[in-house]
Structure 1
Amino acid sequence: MHSFSSAIRRVNIRVLFSVVFLGSLCYYAGWLSRWPAPDNSGLEWKDFEAKRVTITVQAPQATVTVIPEAEEAVVLIGSPTDAFQDNLRHDVRYITTWPGNGFTNEAMSLMNLIYLAMLTERVPILPAFNPSHFSGGSPDTEVVDTTFGEVFDVPRLAKELRMPILEWWQVKDRKSTTVDSLGCWNVWQAVMEHSSGPQYSATPGKLKIDISWTIAPKWVKLKPDAANDAQAKFTGLMALAFPEQRNRNLRTPSKSPLLGLSLPPNEQLLCFDNLYYTANVEGLEFEHDYSTAWRLVGKHLHWNPRIEDIARGYLRRTFGLGVDATIPPYITIHVRHGDFKGACHIPLDECFAPLSAIARRVDEVKEELQRLKDITAAHVILTSDETNITWWDEVAAYGWYRIDHSATAPTYGAWYPVLIDTAIQSEGKGFVGTDRSTVSLITARRVKEWHDGVVRSVKWGEGGGRRSLRKK
């Protein structure tokens, strides 16, 4: 009974609460209904937008991390030493070569060397340029070598390639009388089986390095079935830089000429007789757009600033400009006759292209520069090894300029006529070169790469010469 009464009380309380709540709700609904509805006819949606408040706050300061340039790697023990081994660090591996093919060909060999240094993760040691193109091409001449760094901007090259680059004068004292022994790979006999020894270079003798040669394995040859093809392949030479293939392909070395030592190829200082004939796919790859040695090395190989300044001075004097005058856009021509005469089996006037054919190529370059780049190149400079005075008179009749080198060698040295001409060629907006000339080949690549220039080539020989007059 007691529990029943409690339940009744709980129900009554709930009913009472519900009645009060519903009554209140009805009361307020009736009260609100007496107010008129708001008139929203003149309002738009924008009137319901919250007011915008612009608050200027101090933005947090950005944190900029400045990464300093990497310090120059220490890859030598110190100053040049009498024996080169005394200056090599035990924790660094090096690579070098001994070119001797003429200035431009040697430059190409050293581009190949630096590219191979990239592949093998070694530090290249660059020899000086041999004056083999002087005195009729004899490697023994009174003209002294010129260092790589005197010609090219080595600090800039090392910075752009992000790798250390050495020259031999930094490694071994130039005045040293110490004879060093060294084991190197003989690539020439591996690719040209009928040759009697490695390719000749005067450089080891000048450095007093006595070399024992090991003939490289035949599989380094790019095209094994082409008996007269001298090309070695980069990957083959790269493999010899590592213990597995090196040790597998060792054979009896030759005795060194001075000390009579038979030494296997040195593991710390890897060396090859010559790297000019080295490629990935086909011979003379510098001609092709995919050339790795050019793309990764050659295009970064700029002239020493001193060479550039001297060349600009010659340009201003040639054009009759003041010492500080702006040099106008110009076109250069390189005509190579000298040693090419030996390759002519027909009369020279039929073998070499006439000046009229060269002039047509110059006009093509002028037209393309004007049409595509809005550049007017009225100045044309011709450089050549031709010595015929009558021929030069014909050049003058075209209104083309010639660099006066009458005082160049006495003032700067025997190398400088070549260096100045080549630097001037590479700074033009347009270029007309000689087919099959490596000087023209590399200059054309520089003009295109450095200045987005326009280039042409003039053919010669039985397939060129007078036939160059034909329109293409």
Structure 2
Amino acid sequence: MSILMHNPRNTPSFLRRSNPRVLFAALFLSCVGYYAGRLSTFSAEGTPEYEVRRIWSTRTLPEVERVTVTVDGPQVTVLGPQVTFQAPQATVTVTTEVFVPKADILEDAPIVLNGPPTEALQDNLRDDVQYITSFPGTGFTNDVMAFMNLLYLAILTQRVPIMPFFTPTHVTTAARKTVPPIDFGVIFDIPRLSKELGMPVLEWWQVKDRSSKTIDPLGCWSIWKAVSTRNKDAHPSTAPNTLHLDISWTTPPTWIKLLKDLPEEPHARFTSLMALTFPDLRGKSLRPSTPSPRLKLTLPPDDRLVCFDNMYWIANVEPHELTHDYSTTWRFIGKNLHWNPRIEGLARDCIRQTFSLPDSEPIPPYITIHVRHNDFASWCKFPVDECFAPLSAFARRVEEVKDELRTTKGISVERVIVTSDEKNSTFWDEVASFDWYRVDHRKTVDTYGGWYPILIDAAIQSGGMGLVGTDLSTVSMIAAHRVKAWQGGASRMVKWGRPGADDH
């Protein structure tokens, strides 16, 4: 079928001499330019800038196939049934509803949602797809670890993960005002993660409309209630209320525990939770559920959307195994969970500002120190100035990292950046005495928001060739993993808790 139908005798000579394919190309490019212009001006709070609606789908209707076109630049995939152009050798569909870069989707990716976000949760879940999700509530870095566990369990159960957003349980502004939640995909590179894992990864905003007030009844498992008799309720989280989920919780049997001989040890076992999602053990494990708080419904755990209250305390072999090199969660998930490119860009900008580097000059290798104090003070059995390690202990470990990098990498690293939750000016004066650098975050919150000091610091930590952290800090531990996996770098942890704890 020709793109233009006309009577040759009534057509101007310049059109009669034109190749129909050229005319099609001109019309197609003008239409794509129009829609690209509209898309380039779209913005939505909390939604990545390059997309309007990103759903894991290669088409929105069964009869509309995916088409890849090249238009003076990188390839893009344009999805949707709104405007169709036909030509002798191609059918091109253009839409303003769904637009994603080609790199954002896997080849032959499955359709895992019915369409754009819906008012009611269940309206967007497909009958032929199984999902899994969880909820935040343990602090940013601990929630990152919990979400890594969620993704690993998604692999074990072969379910599509719906990633929660982060809630600001430990984040406040200088005025002590809490900041709003932030989407998983604003912080981490989901397209890259999906490609590395070979599976789709969804976010809640893609499933249920952000503005929806519809209350969705849902049955979920409470790991928290099963692992300890002291836990009378599901692990607290504000996320279900934000999503308007009315959850009826079911406590699974205690055989999900990692260490059954320690009644109050809170870790569950991955394989036990995996088995709980399959019909055989699920049927045997059902118990009376607690009524949901709003509608007072008593529901069994949902089979299509399996959900758990909190997934921080999960392991295969021993508690807190993410601290070890054999951790399956780290090897399969964590090393592939890279920063959103925007976060990486902000971190590079901060490093350049910190080192007073022009844009034209490459960023030199550096070592990051992470000193954690603040909430650790409650663990101290000695006065704080004796409990926390002195900066001289960190300096000693920095020299060890420098020596290792010089020996193993043949590089000399001189610049050191200190990141810390410490507010005491005396501490920072001492940092300056070592000729170490400090990131200036005085304008960060006002410019980007309350989340960004910790996000930028974490990205800076992971970009260094070395990391000297605080023992027992999950922030330091995850940063050390990233430095080793992403930079091939070196790390050390400084012990604390008593005078001379890190002497060696």
> TM-score over 0.5 for the alignment?
yes
> Which of the residues 155, 159, 178 maps onto 1:118?
155
Q: Would you say 1:128 and 2:162 are equivalent positions?
A: no
**Given residue 177 of structure 1, which amino acid in structure 2 is its aligned partner?**
K
Deviation by residue 1:344-378 (Cα, 9 ceiling, x = unmatched) = 11111110000111100001101111122111111
With the length of structure 2 as denominator, give the TM-score of the two structures.
Answer: 0.78
1:117-196 → structure 2 map (5 Å cutoff): 117-135=154-172, 142-196=178-232
Give runs of aligned pairs for residues 26-425 of structure 1, distance below 5 A: 70-135=107-172, 142-425=178-461
SS in 2 for 1:182: strand
Q: How many residues align?
A: 398
CA distance in 2 between partners of 1:318 and 1:141 (Å):
27
The CA deviation string for residues 252-289 of structure 1, in whole angstroms up to 9 with x for no partner, is 10000000000000000000111100000001111111
Runs of 5+ unmatched residues, structure 2: 1-104
The TM-score, its normalising length taken from structure 1, stands at: 0.83
The 8 Å contact of residues 189 and 195 in structure 1, kept in 2 or not, is answered as yes
Partner of 2:24: none
Q: CA deviation at 1:70?
A: 1.9
RMSD: 1.3
Larger Rg: 1
Structure with larger RCO (C-alpha < 8 A, sep 6+): 1
Please point out which of 443, 460, 466 is paired with 2:500.
466
Query: CA–CA distance in 1 between the matches of 2:177 and 2:219?
Result: 27
Q: Is the 8 A contact 1:351 1:460 kept in 2?
A: yes
**Residue pair 1:97, 1:273 contacting (<8 A) in 2 also:** yes
Residue deviations 1:149-179 (CA, integer Å, cap 9, x gap): 0000000000011000000010000100101
Residues 338 and 184 of structure 1, relative CA distance in 2, 3 Å threshold = same
Give the match's secondary structure for 1:325: coil
What stretches of structure 1 of length at least 5 have no aligned partner?
1-67
Partner of 2:52: none
Kept after mapping to 1: 8 A contact 2:196/2:336: yes
Letter in 1 for 2:119: D
Residue in 2 aligned with 1:27? Answer: none
Runs (4+) off by over 6 Å: none
Richer in helix (by share): 1
Aligned-pair identity in percent equals 57
Rounded to whole Å, the distance in 2 between the matches of 1:71 and 1:195 is 44
Q: Which residue identity lines up with residue 326 of structure 2 in the other structure?
A: Y
Displacement of 1:194 in angstroms is 1.9
Name the amino acid aligned to 1:351. Answer: C
1:99–1:276 contact (8 Å) kept in structure 2: no
Matched residue SS, 1:248: helix
Q: Is the 8 A contact 1:131 1:141 kept in 2?
A: no
User: Is the CA contact 1:215–1:251 (under 8 Å) kept in the aligned structure 2?
Assistant: yes
1:258 counterpart letter in structure 2: R
| Mapped pair 1:457 → 2:493 | yes
1:408 shift after superposition: 0.3
Give the C-alpha shift of residue 135 in structure 1: 4.1
**Matches of 2:341 and 2:222, distance apart in 1:** 36
Report if the CA contact (8 A) 1:214-1:265 is conserved: yes
Residues 164 and 178 from structure 1, CA distance in 2 versus in 1: closer, same or farther, beyond 3 angstroms?
Answer: same
Asked whether the equivalents of residues 106 and 198 of structure 2 are also in contact (C-alpha less than 8 Å), the reply is: no
